[in-house]
Structures are given as C-alpha cells and as structure tokens.
Structure 1
Amino acid sequence: MKCLPVDQVSGGAVDCFRAPFAEFNKVIVPNITFQMYTFRCWNDTKCIEDENLCNAIEDCPMYANELFCPNRSQLCHDSDFGKLPNMQDISCQVINKPFTSFSLENALNYPSLYTIQTKFIENQIHDEMITSSSIKSIIPSEICNSGLYVYHRLGVNNYSSLCFCPPNYYGDRCQYQNQRVSLTLTLATVEQPIIYAIIVMLIENDNDRQEIHSYHQFTYASLKYCGKFVNLYLLYSKRGKNNSKNYSIRIDAFNKDSLTYLISWHLTIPFVFLPVNRISAFLTLPISRTFNPKHCPLQCYKGTCMRYHNEERFFCQCHSGWSGAQCNIPIDCNMCAPNSICIGSIRNRSICVCPHGKFGSFCRLQLVCPIGICKNNGRCIMIDERMIDESYMCFCSEQFFGPRCGNVKHRIDISLENIETPLYLLAYIYTMISFERVPPTFVILRKMTMFQSNITVYSQAQFRMVIVKIDNRYYLAVLRKLVSSNIVTSISPTQRCIPIHELLPTKLFLLPRIQRLKSYHIPCQRDSNLQCFVDEFYMCLCTEERHSNCFPLEHQRTFACEDNVYCENGGTCLQDRRICSKNILCICSDCFFGNRCQFYAKGIGLTLDDLLRYEIRPNNTLNDQSLLFGLS
C-alpha cells in the first residue's frame, strides 16, 4: 500500500484496489466513493449500488452485474481472493468486506517502551519498564486514602511521588487522622446590605493567655450564603493534645464595612478525650450590636466586657493589638495593614480582620468591583478573591431586584381610609390562588408612624390579590382576574373580611364546621357589598354570582423571631420568614422608639426628630422619601 501523490488524484487513471489499468481503460469516476458504490461495471464508468447489484436488471454492458450474481456466494470467500480475476477480486472485497473506521488498535507505538526510575513511598528506588498503562496502575486512589496523589519528574531518570493530605489527615500516605473538631455552621440573617467577617477560633481556656490553637476566617453575605452549611476543621496545635486541659470554640462576627464588633458565641467541646468531636450550630447574625456592657462583672484592661449571645457567660472583647482573658497581653500587629484590626496571634503570626475591599492574610491586597456592574444604584460587593463573575454581588434598593439590580419591582400604593393608624401591618401578596394550601408569594411587614395613612410595598412578580392584615383584621386591598402591576388602591371598613361568626346565626355557627360549610353562600347573597369573610381556616371571596369561593389561610402563622438579635430594650421582633427573612421590624415597648427600639423618649414630649425618625425610608433617595420628610 502506498499514498497516492496529489498530482495523480485527477490523472484519469484508477490507481486503487489493485485494478489493472488496461482492463479499466484508464478512467476514473469523479465524485464517486466506495462507501456509496460497491460494483463498477466491466470496462465502463458506470457504478451500481450493492442493493441493485442482483436485481435481475442488466445494468452493465455484457451483463457483467448479473453474470457475477449466480456464483456470488461461492465466489467471494476470503480464502479464494488470490485466485480471482482482478475485477472479481475487486468486487468481492468491496461487497463482502465491512467498512473499517479509523482506529489506533494496530498502530505502532512511538517512541517504544522506555525505562524510568521510580521512587516509591517507601523510599525504595527501582529501575523498571513503565508504559502509560503501568503508570496508571500505580496511581490508585487507595494509595493516599483521602489525599491527592502527585507523581512528578525531578530530573532525568529521577521520579518521585507523594501525597497531599486534607486538613483532617496526615502521614506520608494520609493514613493517620488529626485530632480535631469538625464544625458545621448554619448562618442566617435578615437581607440587608451588610457584609460580615466571621472568625472561628479553637481556644485553650486553662490559662490567662487563652492560646489560639487554630482559626478559620470567612466572609458572609446573606444574599449568597444565608441558610447554607459551612463545614470547618479546627486542629489542635500539637498532635497528641493534652486531654487534661479545657478547650472551647469562640465565634466572633464583625461588620466588614466599619469593622465594628457585633456578637460572639461560645461552643463547648463536650468530650475532650475523644480524638474527633463533631459539633453543629445554627447562628443568627444581628445587624448591630445589641448587648449593653453596663452590667458586665469582668475587669477588662484593654477591651470591653461582653456576654456570649448563647450563654450566660461573660468575656473580654479585646481592642486591636491586645489579647488574653483580661486583654492585658500586648501582641505584635505590625503585619496587619493600618486599616484592619488585629484580634490575636497564632504561631507568631497576626490574625487580621480585613475591611471590605481588602483581602489577604494581612489585608494588603485590594478588591475592586467593575464600574457599573450593578444597575440602578445597586451596591457591589466582593464575596471572594477569585474576581470572576460569581465573585460579585449586588445589593439592590427596594424598588429593584435581580443579580445586577436590572429588574424593576411592581409597585402597590395602599391608603388607609377611616382606619386608625396601627403600629404595624402585614401585606400578603398572591401571584396565584388555589384551593390547596398555597402560602402567599410574598409577605411584607411595614412599621407605621404617627399619623401615617399611606404605605408603598413592592412585589417582584405581578399579582392577583393583596390582603392587608392589621392586628387580627383582614382587608381585601387588590383582587384581579388577571395579574396586575403598579396599582393604587385603598382599604376601609367596607373592604374588611368579616369573621364568619358575625355573619351567621349563632345556631348555624355552632354546628360542626363540615356542616356549616354548606351555608357559606348565605352571607354573599344577603349582602351585595360583602367582598370576603374568614373562618378558622379559610378566607372566602364572594363571586359575581354571589357564591362563596374559599381558599386556605394560615391564621395561626407566627411572625415572631426565634432568635431576637435585632430589637433592643425589650422590643418584640417580627420577621416575614423563619430564616433568611427579607424584612424585619421591632415593636417597641412604652417610652422606646427607633427601628430597633434603641432610643428612649425622655420626658413627656417628642421632638421633631423623634416624630420624623420613622418617616425615613432606608435605601431610598431623597426624592423617594415621604412628603412629610421632604417638607421638614
């Protein structure tokens, strides 16, 4: 076999399949391949497909195709190919031989087998023949257990292998487990444009130094990580820890924008004698510091006495550059950048907490968001140091949403008519309504100010129904057959959804609910102005035909915060969902006011600042503030 030169491709001769030039009359058939045709007529340019070769039609001159058919089965045998005439030899090979695709199974190896010198883990050097398949055979995952096997070349005829171990293993084959604490955290907070620095430390408690054995620091943003698991390994500084000592885990949270200390948690290691302790915790992050250090009994020299949020235990939160149980031990913080804070040291290295926009062990590297990546005045933050698309996040103002704040929310303006201004209200927004138990798509809480009679809420999706709840009363604010957006509406006593016991006779109401359900059409037929009513489990809408159309309504749903880290001075915390809430509010006790009940009203009067404080709409421009605020 040889390769045909390019200048002979269209030379007018059939050069392939061992065909004699004289018998083929030195002709070729242009644009014909042997995948398409399997028989060439004798002394002709005509070709016949295999399926038409023996169809009893004499296609070829001298009946060549049909003459070949009677003895085709006996003629075409692999053992007889050498005895056939050239034309029959060609036909048999083309017809009987299957088409062979390209393959390297029978290719020659180049270069040939080579000899390398391999250094095994036991530090024994062997000279052996290694092929690509034998290299694969010495890299099973079992060699390094849970580690990463690395095979590399050090020089000519000099090869080595080693194992990279994860934090919980060590040894030349990662065959030993480190004594450690396996910690799983779930963090949650209200959706606010706040970036947190979380520092987790394994501390020895048996001396005043409070030695840090290991620590882990990470950045937390509610939009990205709220409610998700964070798995950490905390190692002891020495293998073979001292089981007679006491160890604990301390978790500190800082606001990365201002580097303000916020809160701390204390986790006890229950079984120190065990080589591995597994601990899990659910932590709720505040938006500001909530503990008042006035009643703290400890003496802190260069720090502030604080209390752990989850225990009645006090500690000293040291200022930057100081450590120890009483913050009386200075530490060298020269490694940390000037705009960072130093909270301790480990193995003569400073532990630095970086502000937003800085990263690195000593906060000397800078993070920069691309210009204009967040639309509509959204705030860009960096959540990791890779600087890829997933590294950037946008905190949007109330009117916008989306990964880059490019989507506009639907606006709902609600005015209260002949209704006393409540302390707060809830707006239930439904995008769909079903007889099955479907919760509202959005629940929005709004704190009301003195003399306020209008509120504005926003919905990410178009809506069909909006219900406003004030105390234990429900009002139908919006009801549409088709989805709507950007609507102005009002609620008054006529839009109130009346409880069923006020509509039915006492005798009928006292019947079991399954029996009185058949009477639910009566209120709609008696009162043509009635729009809705409620019972213990359902809300019913009156239809155009004056029938009742009911769907489940969760009357008993509670909005109280499970872990109140937001409200101060005994304020009651409410949130729209159990974790990762989008809005939250505080109901203040007497004489306290503010978004977190952080202010105390001295005397019997209120200043203009106190009256207008509630009118301020966060994350809004001056033009979007209320009229009362603008006039002031």
Structure 2
Amino acid sequence: MVSKINVDNDRRQNISSSNFYRAWYCNRGIAIRYKHVGQICLCPPSYYGDRCEFQSQRVSVTLQMKASEYRTMIVLVLTLIDYNQQIHSYEQVHYIPFRDCKNKFNVVLLYNIRPKDFLRKYLVRIQAFEKSSFAHRATWLFPIKFPVLPVYRLVKQLVIPADETHTIAKNCPLKCLHGLCQRYINSEDFFCRCDSKWYGVLCDIPYVCQCSFDSRCVGIINNRSICVCPPHKFGPRCLLTRSSCPPSNCHHRGTCIFSDERISQERFVCLCEDGFSGVRCENIQTKIDISFAVDVSIPQALLGHFITVYNDSNPTQLSIYKKVPFNLETVTFHFSDPFHILLTEFDEKFYLAIVQETFTASLHIAVQLTASYRCLPIEEILDATILQFRRLHYVKYYHTLCRKNSDLVCFYDESLMCLCNQDRFANCFNFDRSITYSCSDTNYCTNKGRCFQNSETCQTPLLCVCNECYYGKRCQLSTKGFGLPLDAIIAYQIHPNVPLTSQPTAVKASIAITTVM
C-alpha cells in the first residue's frame, strides 16, 4: 500500500514538471507539435526566436476613438512608415461607435528589419474609412520621437470627424499625380492620398491591386496589397464571404452588423432602432412624448434630466439633449433605465415633467408642459434680505416656500433642486445644472452652430442648435440668399431623407407651381 502511494506521488510530480516544462518552453509563445520536426513555437508579435526568447523592436499603439455618428462602422488602417513612405507593417481596427465607445484597442507594429535602422526616421500613420462606402474621414500622423527606444509606446484618443471637408487642402504645395492633396488632421503638414493602384509620395508609382473588385486598395507592402473590405467580406484580399446574419438575430427591425472576431466572441452585433435596447434589441424602451401649451414657447431643443432615486444612496442624474422637429410641436424621449423624476430645461428655464414613485418599464407617457410646471429660481421667491445670509443659514426656510406658495411645484438654487410634495414640504436633492456635454468634434456643426452630445464618453447622435437663418442636421443650409419670404418658409418644410410623395402639401404645391412656370 505504501509503495503504491509513492508511485502515484512520483507520477504526479513527473506530470506536474512535464506540464511546467511545456508551459514555459516557448516563454511568451505557444508550443505545438509539427510533423516530424517535433515541438515548435508560435510567437506573439512582441517576441521572436526559436523559443520566443528575444524581444522585438516595435511600436505599441493604444487607441480610443470617438465618432460623430454612432451608427457608422469605421475602419482604421495603422501603418508604420519611414520618411520615404515605405510601409514596414500595418494593422486594421474595426470600430463600431455604439459598441466600442469605451473600449481601448492595442496594436503592435513591427519594423521590417532586425535591428531597425537608427538612421531612419519613422512615423505612425492612421487612416479612417467608412466600412460600407470606403469614404475617407481623416488621416493622422505621429512621429516616433525617441527612435533609440527598443519599444516605443504611443497612446492616443482620436476624434473621427463627420467628413473630410476640413482636411482638404486649398493651397497645397504638393503635385499629386494620381491622388488628392490633403492635410493631416493633427498637424499642418500635407500629404497625397493616392487613388487605388497608385502609391508613392506624389502617387506616381503604379501597382497591381490584388484586392477583390468590391474592396479598396489603400497601400502596398512586400508586393502585396493592403485591402479594406466591405462589411460582408473578410480576409487579406477580401476574397472570403461572411455567412449572412440569422433572420431572428436582431429583434424589432434591428440592424445586424458583423463583429470583429479578434475583440469579441459574438459574431454579430445588433444596432437597435430608436425605442429599443438590449443585446438583441429585445427590450422596449419607455416612450415619453412632451408637448408645449400655448403659454410656453416652443424651443429649438431641450435638455431632459432623468433622476433616479435610491433608498440607500444619493440620486443619480442622466441628461439627454433632444431637438424639436421644425414642423412638429412634440419631442419624444426613449429611455430604458429606471427613473422617477424628469425635469426639462430650455431657454434657461426648468420645468417639472414627470414624478413617479414606482418605475414601470415599456410605458407610453404623454406630458404637456405649461407655465405652472416651471421650477422657479430661489431668487424669485425668497426674500432678498434672507439671501444675503450664508447659504447654510437660509436653506432652512425652503420648507416655508412650499407652504406660502400653493401653486409652486419646484424651485432650485445653485446646487439643489427642490420639489413640493403633497404635504407642502420641500423635498430637495443635489442637482447639477452645469452639464453641457459639448461635442468632441468641434467641426460637426457648421455656420457657428452649437453642438451637444448626450454623454462625455459614448457619443450618441449629436445635436446642432442653429443660429438664425440656418437650418439642417448640421446647420449646413441657409435662407439668407432667398429673395422671397416664401422661399424661406418652404425651405424649413422640406423633410430630409423622405420621398416626394411623403413631403408636406406646401412643398408639393411649390414644386408643381415652379414646374408649370
């Protein structure tokens, strides 16, 4: 019995030492058996050698992106180049804004020779394209400032613009033969963005594009084309076709988007329509329609503050911007998280829209804002003499304000929002009035329009508040050049992305009269 135990212990020790040897045989790599050769090592990009024992000279890139449109899939092509525009290595990153807004992407770029040539100057170039149309958005250029380092680390946050108009060079010193002269988005330097099948500093060197006919060539390395594939294809030459999305993969008319297998185990990602949420768009959000009474002026846009109350912690606040359609008098919010209070803000005024003790999901709530729902600033209802005291001394009078003013529903000071309850006592909580969420993309709204977003980290649809005489999604249209007042009126009635048969009667009549004349 004793000898059997000793044999088992020896066997376990041998197995344990064997597993330990296999685990560290390739250091940071993976050991595999290959035919008659025996055990060989698969090394990660950062190591090389027979047993992955040497560290590669490389550029380690960490990226986080923000995009103006959260529904558009972006492809970023990262290349390590020298001053002769020779590409040493490249990688592609697929960025879906609504999924990857908080994600960070780690990429390793290698030099084409070991050791690298210290006499050369190296740079990292990043190009952004739309996945579906291959439209170019922007190009960044980052120099390797310390080439003596064996590992150079580059960490950047990129703001992807809505289009490339602000990078097109007007007075370009370069003569691009087969391409377009543009400016890097992060510097004043110019470069030639070559057409497909051309490369070089001036796009003067031809090459054979080896990519599939429905893809785009964006460069060449080691006599092989660098291809950007359409959404339904993949592979180094975009010759492989993805299987179609399952019909029941996304509910409620959600759009199925192919995912990048390198960063997600899910093959597909669902892009939900307004009013739905969830991994498969299976959840119906609460719909809130807000209209305006005759004693409240209709704003261009408003800010909805959703307050959630907890028993054991402070209330939380989430603010959402919404634009009021020019041809409607109602604005709609879709909200999936539990909330108890909804405050609306516009024209520097606050209105109490909803108060509910218990949240019920998937409801349809209709609210009409009237002047009686307005929350008054403390300066309008508290005696000026008392306001001269320190805030700690006059806040005790807040309960009396609800009792003295029977029509008062809410009021606020610099840090508190107070609601008058049924017993006419003030129920106050911390409230942040300084939330603006200005857009990261300062060029999104044209003609000096003000840009807002609903989150500092994840950019949901951006909102432009236009100045007078400007309109459109990005304030890109103007009525200043119209000779007749009727032209300006008709311009505001045109619905974008809507067929002619569904346009308002005024637009149809104007087109008919113009055609006859």
Using the TM superposition, give the Cα deviation of residue 537 of structure 1 relative to its aligned residue in structure 2, in angstroms. Answer: 0.2
How many residue pairs end up in the alignment? 497
Unaligned stretches of 5+ in structure 2?
510-517
Give, in whole Å, the separation in 1 of the partners of 2:292 and 2:500: 24
Aligned to 1:499: 377
Change (3 A) 1:140 1:493: closer
Aligned to 2:296: 419
Aligned to 1:429: 306
The TM-score with structure 2 as length reference comes to 0.87
Aligned to 2:387: 509
1:139 aligns with 2:139: no
Aligned to 1:352: 227
1:584 partner amino acid: L
Aligned to 2:512: none
Change (3 A) 1:152 1:318: closer
Aligned to 1:127: none
Change (3 A) 1:303 1:421: farther
1:147 partner amino acid: G
SS of aligned partner of 1:381:
strand
From 357, 362, 381, the counterpart of 2:257? 381
Is the CA contact (8 Å cut-off) linking 2:353 and 2:373 kept in structure 1?
A: yes
SS of aligned partner of 1:517:
helix
SS of aligned partner of 2:108:
strand
Give, in whole Å, the separation in 2 of the partners of 1:457 and 1:500: 29
1:555 aligns with 2:437: no
Give, in whole Å, the separation in 2 of the partners of 1:629 and 1:361: 53
Aligned to 2:515: none
SS of aligned partner of 1:611:
helix
Change (3 A) 1:602 1:434: farther
**RCO (CA 8 Å, sep 6+): is it higher in 1 or 2?**
2
Aligned to 1:318: 194
1:177 aligns with 2:55: yes
1:200 partner amino acid: L
1:520 aligns with 2:384: no
Give, in whole Å, the separation in 2 of the partners of 1:556 and 1:436: 22
Q: What does 1:129-278 align with in structure 2 at a 5 Å threshold?
A: 135-136=18-19, 138-141=21-24, 143-151=25-33, 154=36, 160-189=38-67, 192-205=70-83, 207=84, 210-278=85-153
1:407 aligns with 2:311: no
1:341 partner amino acid: R
Give, in whole Å, the separation in 2 of the partners of 1:355 and 1:626: 33
Change (3 A) 1:133 1:231: closer
Aligned to 2:316: 439
SS of aligned partner of 1:483:
coil
Give, in whole Å, the separation in 2 of the partners of 1:280 and 1:629: 53
Change (3 A) 1:174 1:318: same
Is the CA contact (8 Å cut-off) linking 1:293 and 1:306 kept in structure 2?
A: yes
Give, in whole Å, the separation in 2 of the partners of 1:220 and 1:595: 24
Using the TM superposition, give the Cα deviation of residue 527 of structure 1 relative to its aligned residue in structure 2, in angstroms. Answer: 1.3
SS of aligned partner of 2:61:
strand
Aligned to 1:398: 274
Using the TM superposition, give the Cα deviation of residue 622 of structure 1 relative to its aligned residue in structure 2, in angstroms. Answer: 12
Change (3 A) 1:509 1:626: farther
Using the TM superposition, give the Cα deviation of residue 432 of structure 1 relative to its aligned residue in structure 2, in angstroms. Answer: 2.7
Give, in whole Å, the separation in 1 of the partners of 2:504 and 2:373: 26
Aligned to 2:513: none
Kindly provide the CA deviation profile for residues 556-598 of structure 1, in whole angstroms up to 9, marking residues without a partner as x.
Answer: 1222123425323443221111111223212234544321223
Aligned to 1:610: 491
Give, in whole Å, the separation in 2 of the partners of 1:579 and 1:240: 40
1:139 partner amino acid: R
Give, in whole Å, the separation in 2 of the partners of 1:536 and 1:134: 67
SS of aligned partner of 1:481:
coil
Aligned to 1:64: none
Give, in whole Å, the separation in 1 of the partners of 2:29 and 2:457: 36
1:150 partner amino acid: I
Give, in whole Å, the separation in 2 of the partners of 1:275 and 1:366: 39
The TM-score with structure 1 as length reference comes to 0.72
SS of aligned partner of 2:237:
coil
1:483 aligns with 2:359: yes
Is the CA contact (8 Å cut-off) linking 2:159 and 2:440 kept in structure 1?
A: no
Using the TM superposition, give the Cα deviation of residue 400 of structure 1 relative to its aligned residue in structure 2, in angstroms. Answer: 1.3
Give, in whole Å, the separation in 2 of the partners of 1:475 and 1:362: 57
From 418, 438, 445, the counterpart of 1:567? 445
From 245, 249, 254, the counterpart of 1:369? 245
Unaligned stretches of 5+ in structure 1?
1-99, 114-130
Is the CA contact (8 Å cut-off) linking 1:305 and 1:315 kept in structure 2?
A: yes
Aligned to 1:293: 168
Aligned to 1:534: 412
1:545 aligns with 2:426: no
Kindly provide the CA deviation profile for residues 215-235 of structure 1, in whole angstroms up to 9, marking residues without a partner as x.
Answer: 001221123322211111111
Give, in whole Å, the separation in 2 of the partners of 1:203 and 1:532: 61
From 250, 271, 279, the counterpart of 2:154? 279
Aligned to 1:65: none
Give, in whole Å, the separation in 2 of the partners of 1:549 and 1:435: 16
Give, in whole Å, the separation in 1 of the partners of 2:145 and 2:262: 37
Kindly provide the CA deviation profile for residues 286-329 of structure 1, in whole angstroms up to 9, marking residues without a partner as x.
Answer: 34334262534243222222222222222222222222222222
2:164 partner amino acid: R
Give, in whole Å, the separation in 2 of the partners of 1:584 and 1:133: 58
For structure 1, which segment, 216-225 or 335-344, has the greater mean C-alpha deviation from structure 2 after superposition?
A: 216-225
Aligned to 2:217: 342
Is the CA contact (8 Å cut-off) linking 1:426 and 1:468 kept in structure 2?
A: yes
Aligned to 1:21: none
Change (3 A) 1:501 1:525: same
SS of aligned partner of 2:32:
strand
Kindly provide the CA deviation profile for residues 149-176 of structure 1, in whole angstroms up to 9, marking residues without a partner as x.
Answer: 335562xxxx633322111111122222
Give, in whole Å, the separation in 2 of the partners of 1:608 and 1:316: 43
SS of aligned partner of 1:507:
helix
Aligned to 1:596: 474
Query: Matched residues, percent identical?
Result: 35
Change (3 A) 1:540 1:630: farther
Change (3 A) 1:241 1:133: closer
Give, in whole Å, the separation in 2 of the partners of 1:536 and 1:512: 13
Change (3 A) 1:436 1:510: farther
Is the CA contact (8 Å cut-off) linking 2:309 and 2:316 kept in structure 1?
A: no
Change (3 A) 1:371 1:629: farther
1:432 partner amino acid: V
Is the CA contact (8 Å cut-off) linking 1:296 and 1:305 kept in structure 2?
A: no
Give, in whole Å, the separation in 1 of the partners of 2:143 and 2:21: 44
Aligned to 2:514: none
1:145 partner amino acid: N
Is the CA contact (8 Å cut-off) linking 1:413 and 1:487 kept in structure 2?
A: yes
Aligned to 1:581: 459
Give, in whole Å, the separation in 2 of the partners of 1:197 and 1:187: 11
2:159 partner amino acid: T
Change (3 A) 1:416 1:389: same
Change (3 A) 1:362 1:346: same
Give, in whole Å, the separation in 1 of the partners of 2:406 and 2:450: 40
Using the TM superposition, give the Cα deviation of residue 138 of structure 1 relative to its aligned residue in structure 2, in angstroms. Answer: 4.2
Is the CA contact (8 Å cut-off) linking 1:290 and 1:567 kept in structure 2?
A: no
1:251 partner amino acid: I
Change (3 A) 1:263 1:325: same
SS of aligned partner of 1:295:
coil
Give, in whole Å, the separation in 2 of the partners of 1:242 and 1:512: 68
